[in-house]
Amino acid sequence: MRIDRAEPAQSGLVRPDNAFLADQQRLLVGWPTKLALAPDLRPGRQPPGARRYPPAGQAGLAGLPRPPLGVPAWEQLLP
């Protein structure tokens, strides 16, 4: 049975030791191929050969209105 795997091809068809992280134009695309690799996507990690991106500031978010909290489904369904 053929199974398409989520991670990019590895030499020797072995499983990856790190989470996948790639530089795609203005985006950093990453995913852990298993949950144990999730910490490998820590803030500040750069893919090999990537441009150095400065940390994004949060100043632009301060002036935005906050959305109201959603009503839980059980409060909508149960009287």
- Sign (positive/negative) of CA torsion 9, 12, 16, 21? negative
- For every residue of 11-74, DSSP letters joined together read GGGPPPSS-EEEEETTEEEEE-SSGGGGGGG-TT---TT---PPPPPSGGGTTSPPPPPPPPHH
Region at 49 (left for phi over 0; alpha for psi -120 to 50; beta for the rest)? left
Residue type, 26: R
List the pLDDT tens digit at each of the 79 positions of the chain: 666 666 666 777 777 777 777 777 777 777 777 777 777 777 666 666 656 656 666 666 777 888 899 988 888 888 7
pLDDT of residue 7: 66
